[in-house]
Copies of this chain bind each other. A is one copy, B any other.
Amino acid sequence: MNFTTQRCANLIRDFKKDGIDATLITGEHNVRYLTGFTGSSAYVIGTAKQFYIISDDRYADQIQEECKDIEVHIRPHNKTTLEATAELLTSLGSKAAGIEVDQVTLAFLQALTSASQSNFVPLHGKVESLRAVKDASEVEAIRVAVRAAERAFGMFGAMICETDTEKELADNMEAYIRRAGGNCASFPTIVAIGERGALPHAKPTNKILGEGSKLLVDWGADVNGYKSDITRTFKSPFGISPNRRNKQERSGFDLDVIHDILVKAQNAALATVGEGVDAKDVDAAARKVITDAGYGEYFVHGLGHGIGLEIHEAPRVRENSNDVLQPGMVITLEPGIYIPGWGGVRVEDDVLVKREGGVRLTTLAHDTALLG
Q: Give the docked Cα–Cα distance between A228 and B127 (Å).
A: 35
**Are the CB atoms of A102 and B101 closer together than 8 Å?**
no
The size of the chain A interface, using a CB distance under 8 A, is 24
Cross-interface CB contact of A104 among B105, B178, B200, cutoff 8 Å: B105
Query: Which stretch, A106-114, A213-221, A245-253, touches the partner chain B?
Result: A106-114
A123-B124 Cα distance, complex, nearest whole Å: 24
A184 contacts the other chain (CB 8 A): yes
Which residues in B have their C-beta under 8 angstroms from that of A103? Answer: 105
Compute how far the CA of A174 lies from the CA of B174 in the bound complex, rounded to whole angstroms.
8
Which of B102, B110, B184 touches A188 (beta carbons < 8 Å)?
B184
B-side contacts of A124, CB under 8 Å: 107
Query: How far is B105's CA from A310's CA once the two chains are assembled, in angstroms?
Result: 19
A76 at the interface (CB under 8 A from B): no
Candidates B174, B179, B201; contact of A58 at CB < 8 Å: B201
Chain B residues positioned under 8 Å from A175 (CB to CB): 171-172, 174-175
Does A122 belong to the interface (CB within 8 Å)?
Answer: yes
- A99 is an interface residue with CB less than 8 A from chain B: yes
Contacting residues, chain B, for A200 (C-beta < 8 A): 58
Q: Once bound together, how far apart are the Cα atoms of A99 and B107, in whole Å?
A: 11
Contact A110 B101, CB 8 Å, known A174-B174, A179-B171, A200-B58: yes
Asked if residues B110 and A106 are in contact (CB atoms below 8 Å), the reply is no
Within 8 Å CB of A201, what residues of B? 58
What residue of chain B has the Cβ atom nearest to residue A204's Cβ? B183
Q: Most chain-B Cβ atoms within 10 A of its Cβ — which of A107, A109, A122, A200?
A: A107
> In the complex where A174-B175, A179-B171, A201-B58 touch, is A105 in contact with B105 (Cβ < 8 A)?
yes
Partner of A99, one of B58, B106, B167: B106
List, in ascending order, chain B residues with CB within 8 A of A104's CB. Answer: 105-106
Q: List 5 A-B contacts (CB under 8 A).
A: A104-B106, A105-B106, A106-B106, A171-B179, A174-B174
Q: Which A positions have Cβ atoms within 8 angstroms of B?
A: 58, 99, 101-107, 109-110, 122, 124, 167, 171-172, 174-175, 178-179, 184, 188, 200-201
